[in-house]
Chains A and B, each alone.
Chain A
């Protein structure tokens, strides 16, 4: 068999995946860009209309707010989980890691529906609270931003935990020992020595959660009940309900650009290569 040049064999391995990406992803995205500038008429009309629409503005504000709060929530909860797993070595560690990863194997749809069962007017949470006579009327736990946030934080949590866990497991316990031997209390050692070392993991997690949240559809759509219109759902409305392809596409373009901007800004603080491509 003739020896294949290394470059050729490299491209032969990459090409099938690349072809699929180009045909079914890159070209359609470019198509969306085209529609955004050509429907219903050529020009930036869609963008002008968008800029003037209060509904669009509100939707963007909600999107960024939900994404930001989800990110903060995931970071706080995830940090505690990752810290516990990596700093208290017990026989439970593998189980705890498994519990973090487990949700990945359950569809987002099912997880979101489960939250509806839990948070609904006569859902488990409200029922339990009523039975315990802690409340008189059911609380509004869903079809509002609160419900969306609860479910979003749940869905996104593994994306925050995993990068932080990888990062924390690489930090030797000897640093905190060293800090304490030099006179720092447990809290000071954590704050001044341990925490700064976890920043790469925290930023990675934050970036993943935030970017994924910006374009998230299923969970906000189900738990928002049409009242928490995040931008992805807004786009779906424009295209499916109003057949307004031009505006829908223009919104997609803006969402894509906004996400790219977030990544660009983040790149100044985080090593994106390490965050998104390489895992220790």
Chain B
């Protein structure tokens, strides 16, 4: 990584006995789309507020291009921010809202005019310049909030769950637009969300937080395919978890066994013979077969039809449940509750999780 635009060192924030941030270290690269992902209470919003300067850290440093900004008030940080509720100033028109940061910076009237027009054009809202925010829909307000946060060429754009108040269809459209905007402008985005789909579809890099600590960071693909621990595997997408004993093997290929079912495991994670490991298996990596075709026998418990895909819940003797996701066009088996089936997977499908 080149010199990071923003560098967070050992950030700690305490609220009473709770550590909202528990020693977070993070470097943000210039121009990247970074997403802070986590459930509520994970510290993602606290971290964003600390970056914006709304809350003071109890410990740790923030640096912008190596210059310390830990104690700088928010108005001197030069970060644009888009809020969950948009926070458009209700007493100002759209034009005044977008021009606000420029007016504060004492730019000339003609420059403000020009910049505001550009910013509104960028979000395709030029026609609404003289409306009041209350006359706009949620999606439109969202676009204005973006234009306002971008109009003064901020160093970094912070986005706090900007799409969460919108309906699903609009959210999907705006995801594309945001990604588009990010590519066009080249500005660094730090995006907070609890929505894994949003995170996966837009980010260059995702940071998964839990209890104020980073669980794992990486590009969406890596996080999805190589979750480090159970929390990440469960939070990002769906996973089946499986305890298995390593029977034999070395290097990158092992023989494993789970409740009488033997299978081969290909993994880069070092394993030892005799060890019990926890595996994560993505539902779409599981194969469904007739009894005897695959190595784990079971019974279909429930079937859920989702249009393009179909989810099948299979119970194995001993009570384990497996969620299998398969394309609906596969008609070799028609799963119905009570049907005897078997489950299998490729040797490289399971991910070995770090012990909790």
Contacts and interface: CB of A to CB of B under 8 A. Distances in A.
Interface in B94-116: 100-101, 104-105
Contact of A177 (B83, B101, B105): B83
Contacts of A178: 81, 83, 87, 89
Contacts of A12: none
A180 B85 contact: no
A183 B152 contact: yes
B348 interface: no
A179 B100 contact: yes
A236 B85 CA distance: 56
B4 interface: no
B54 interface: yes
Contact of B148 (A174, A182, A192, A196): A182
B75 A175 contact: no
Given A177-B54, A177-B74, A197-B90, A182 B100 contact: yes
A177 B87 contact: yes
B79 A193 contact: no
A172 B54 CA distance: 15
Interface string B61-98: 00000000000011101111101010101110000000
A185 B75 contact: yes
Interface centre among A178, A184, A185, A197 (most CB of B within 10 A): A178
Contact of A182 (B73, B80, B91): B80
Given A180-B53, A181-B53, A183-B152, 11 more contacts: A175-B87, A177-B83, A179-B100, A182-B80, A182-B100, A183-B75, A184-B100, A184-B104, A186-B73, A196-B91, A197-B89
Interface of B: 52-54, 73-75, 77-81, 83, 85, 87, 89-91, 100-101, 104-105, 148-149, 152, 158
29 contacts: A172-B85, A174-B83, A177-B52, A177-B54, A177-B83, A177-B87, A178-B83, A178-B87, A178-B89, A180-B75, A181-B53, A181-B74, A181-B75, A181-B149, A181-B158, A182-B75, A182-B101, A182-B148, A182-B149, A182-B152, A183-B75, A183-B101, A183-B105, A183-B152, A184-B75, A184-B104, A193-B89, A196-B89, A196-B91
